[in-house]
Chains A and B, each alone.
Chain A
Amino acid sequence: MANSATQAGLARQFWRGGSRLITSLLSLLVTLLGLLAFTFMLSHQSPVDPVLQVAGDRASESTYQQVRHDLGLDQPLPVQFWRYLEHLARGDLGMSHITAQPVTSDLARAFPATLELATCAMIFGAVFGITLALLAAWKPGGLLDNLARLISLLGYSVPVFWLGLLGLLLFYAVLHWSAGPGRLDDIWIYTLEPKTGLVLVDSWLSGDREMFRNAIAHLWLPVAVLGMLSMAAITRLLRAALLEENGKEYVTLARAKGASRTRILLCHIFPNVRGTLITVLGLSYATLLEGSVLTETVFAWPGVGRYLTTALFASDVPAILGSTLLIGGCFVLLNALVDALTWLTDPRTR
């Protein structure tokens, strides 16, 4: 009997997990569809008439109608949306006017650069942010705690593009510690063989250590500037979570049993804030992908963000919407991933 009761319990748990999975997948799907509907509506509202783009502005009325029909623009909106989705499923985002290339291949070339920048910035932010939060929680109200508060406050109040400009001024123009904008110096930029699209990996694979060092010299400053964003968020939220745990009874118990402050912090409290940690890391990674738009513009970093801003200046609608879709999609997926990971690692949320 007891056995069948456990089985029933297991089955219920499994069922609850399954329905939870389905709901989250459905909501992810709805969110992505919402994003697609947004970009579709924008492409529809675009001031550039796609018919005139094909037929030319001197086209006769019958040619105009013919082109309009060929492009499917005389169909009802839901049909047009469906066709838009079909094109997307085939990886067709239209042609960029500035590069005269398919937007998909432009994005595929630019995305690794953004990924590299955001990932390195994430690592920077996580290492310094977690350290700072732990130092702050080690002695709440102490000097380090106040310092951590100040740094995180400045970090989430500073405009990242301005911080980038100041960084370039100080570390590139005055101190010459950074190699400045771009991913590589001009002498290497055309000899680099893009195997993975990640400049650190590619320059390492090329075997030219000088080139690898140059890539690092270019990379570290934008990484530090962008990483400040995630560092501020991680410090702020992790510190709050650590301090909240600090007031719980198990901490008092551990202290009564004579555990040292460091031991309590690292072995007792830290594992209990993993939910917060996952959430913060995931969300700040998503923010970094977005923050890269401004950072890449300042540092002439050839990623999706810079592609987007270049397209903005040229009113290149397919490129703008393609980049929006890519960054937005990553953002949405990361949000969903954070939810899933929190659910998997923290039994309290089940």
Chain B
Amino acid sequence: MTQHLSDAEIVTPAPRRRRRLTTLVIGGTLVAILVLTALLAPLLAPFDPNAQTISARLLAPSAAHWFGTDGFGRDLLSRVIYGARPTLLLVSLILVLTIPVGLLIGITAGYVGGWTERVLMRITDIFLSLPNLVIALALVSILGPGLLNGALALALTSWPPFARQARAETLALRRSDYLAAARMQGISGLRLMFGHILPLCLPGAVVRAALSLGGIILSAAGLGFLGMGVQPPTAEWGSMVAEGSKVNFDQWWVAAAPGGAILFASLAFNLTGDGLRDRLDTRNDS
């Protein structure tokens, strides 16, 4: 290696492309582990996550309880395994709520143009410039805590990136030969938007989803930590960290185990998102 970088390394860094694939593989594997854990929780968990054993309170990690037990004598490993369920459920709910809304607004704005576009994008920008967690907290405090309300509250500020991306992609498509051909066949209006533009916007939306999921998981865990998410005794990572924070200095494992799970889940989606984005080479425009 000389003092200066070789041209090849600057223009197309081959090792980086290889690393992108590794990023995607590692991320995908972690996500798969997460999903399988959630699905197979009853098989994987050594104990009932809600079974309280008062004599076994706050036990340190051991062969019987790998992650130790919490203040009610519940096995933390089992609770961490079951905790994958509300997290993934919440995340899926948010995606089901945000992707259609984002795509609809983005494609309409890009396709129709003019004043419709300006108004829709202004609304998108308004929602984009609102703080995610604080708005969700305010909303949940009024609607009441819970899984569905948490998902609604987080979805409210999570759709704008999808809309922006869909609009950008629709704009790029508007002058394509492909759409001109479809128009010449007499296809127009809604059928053109949803039959021909929408499928081409989906890959971008998937990448965008993977990229936002890491942050959404953190916000959801934050809601749980502040007692505004899924209510106890359901095992949920954020509220488990909150329970553990009371005994943080003496029984550190109670907070450490679920917090590590949140890190794992967020990391899994962030890696997948990075890998997918580089793979599909969609430009990150927000």
Contacts and interface: CB of A to CB of B under 8 A. Distances in A.
A169 B263 contact: no
Interface in B200-249: 214-215, 218, 221-222, 225-228, 238, 241, 244-245, 248-249
Nearest to A332: B129
Interface stretch (A65-73, A79-87, A203-211, A309-317): A309-317
Given A252-B7, A317-B141, A324-B138, A34 B126 contact: yes
B279 interface: no
Nearest to B133: A290
Contacts of B141: 312, 315, 317, 320
B155 interface: no
Contact of A293 (B134, B218, B256, B262): B134
A108 to B, nearest CB: 18
- Interface extent on A, as a size class? 35 or more
B248 A335 contact: no
Contact of B134 (A169, A255, A290, A298): A290
Contact of A156 (B4, B126, B130, B270): B270
A91 interface: no
Contacts of A46: 142
Nearest to A164: B245
Contacts of A309: 226
A31 to B, nearest CB: 5
Interface string A307-350: 01100110101001101100110011001100000000000000
Given A27-B125, A140-B16, A161 B266 contact: no
Contacts of B215: 156
B267 interface: yes
Nearest to B227: A313
Contacts, number: 153
B154 interface: no
Interface stretch (A3-11, A35-43, A49-57, A119-127): A35-43
B281 interface: no
A30 B118 CA distance: 13
Contacts of B130: 34-35, 38, 328, 331-332
Given A42-B138, A159-B221, A293 B133 contact: yes
B130 to A, nearest CB: 6
B266 A157 contact: yes
Contacts of A332: 129-130
Given A312-B137, A320-B138, A162 B241 contact: yes
A156 B249 CA distance: 25
Nearest to B138: A324
A153 B134 contact: no
B3 A328 contact: no
Nearest to B14: A141
A157 B212 CA distance: 11
A21 interface: no
Contacts of A45: 142-143
Given A153-B271, A260-B3, A165 B244 contact: yes
A284 interface: no
A157 B271 CA distance: 10
A331 B16 CA distance: 35
Interface string A127-150: 000000000000111000000000
- Interface extent on B, as a size class? 35 or more
A324 B137 contact: yes
A286 B262 CA distance: 23
Interface in B118-159: 122, 125-126, 129-135, 137-139, 141-144
Nearest to A325: B138
A173 B222 contact: no
B280 to A, nearest CB: 16
B63 interface: no
Listed residue (B137, B144, B215) with the most chain A CB atoms within 10 angstroms of its CB: B137
B16 A157 contact: no
Interface in B249-272: 249, 252, 255-256, 259, 262-263, 266-267, 270-271
B13 interface: yes
B172 interface: no
Contacts of B222: 159-161, 293-294
A96 interface: no
Given A290-B133, A328-B134, A168 B248 contact: yes
B15 interface: yes
A324 to B, nearest CB: 4
B134 A308 contact: yes
13 contacts: A46-B142, A47-B144, A141-B9, A159-B225, A247-B10, A255-B4, A290-B133, A293-B133, A317-B141, A320-B138, A324-B138, A327-B131, A331-B130
Given A157-B263, A162-B262, A332-B129, 18 more contacts: A30-B126, A34-B126, A141-B9, A153-B267, A154-B267, A157-B267, A162-B263, A172-B249, A173-B249, A252-B7, A255-B4, A298-B245, A308-B134, A312-B227, A312-B228, A320-B138, A327-B134, A336-B129
